Structure 1
Amino acid sequence: MKAYARRTQAFDLRLQLFERRELRQRFPWVGDIAVGASYCPEDGHANPRLVSPAFAQAARRSGAQVHEQCKVLEVGHDGHHFSVHTSSGQGFKAPWLLNCAGAWSAQLAERFGEPVPLTAAHPAMLVTEPLPLFMTASTGVEGGG
């Protein structure tokens, strides 16, 4: 976490590191297994089932082409343009490529020699009757190389 905090200083994330005692004082509902945490007041979590379609709609309104449910078979970059060939037989060429492959983003990035060694695990969620708010921050467990 300390290395991550150093790497993010240039981005003005206002990241705070909490050791166990500080973590318990600030967030008493965090389980005993947590020995520390990084906290960014602006962080949050969004439901990808709602956010992804909203991003796609906004992109289309701005003139972007969005192609879903097609596997990327081949990618390349000739120094000026990206090229993509998909399982649906389509081929694309553009000066920009946005990696929006979701759970497969790391695999796509690796094809360009830019591995993203990241694993994310988030706590199990369940639907209940409305309860009083007691968790005052988004939580997740993240790690990687």
Structure 2
Amino acid sequence: MEAQQLHRGRLIDHIQLVVRDLPASLRFYEAVLGALQIPLGGQTDSYFWADELFVSTASSPAANGHLTGRHHLAFQAKDREMVDAFHRAALAHGGRNNGAPGERSYHPGYYAAFALDPDGNNIEAVFHGAHQRSASSVLITF
């Protein structure tokens, strides 16, 4: 799989999800990433990517023939409206509700929505609100 740029110093270099139905996943991720104003980087017959998220079939050479397990991915949203748009797009394109848009108790101003993608991965969009602190001072417990 190819990446467009190498970004050093990130905590996560890339994420690969291996899915059962690539066209269904493509429809879902095009919709939710579009709602978050994140463009797809490209696609082939066996995978597609956006930034450092790669989604592939089990037959893709990088997948080694195995589906991934359930994951939780959280995408940052610019505002509450973007979180709402993410959730609407997810449900309209094969996702299942896993938490309607709303405030969460993780910290003041944490506004998020959750959807399960076609393979059951828990996909979130979050806006940290006016109370957002710098990344080095945020402590979120699960």
TM-score, with length taken from structure 1: 0.24
Larger relative contact order (Cα-Cα within 8 Å, sequence gap ≥ 6):
2
Larger-Rg structure: 1
Structure with more strand by fraction? 2
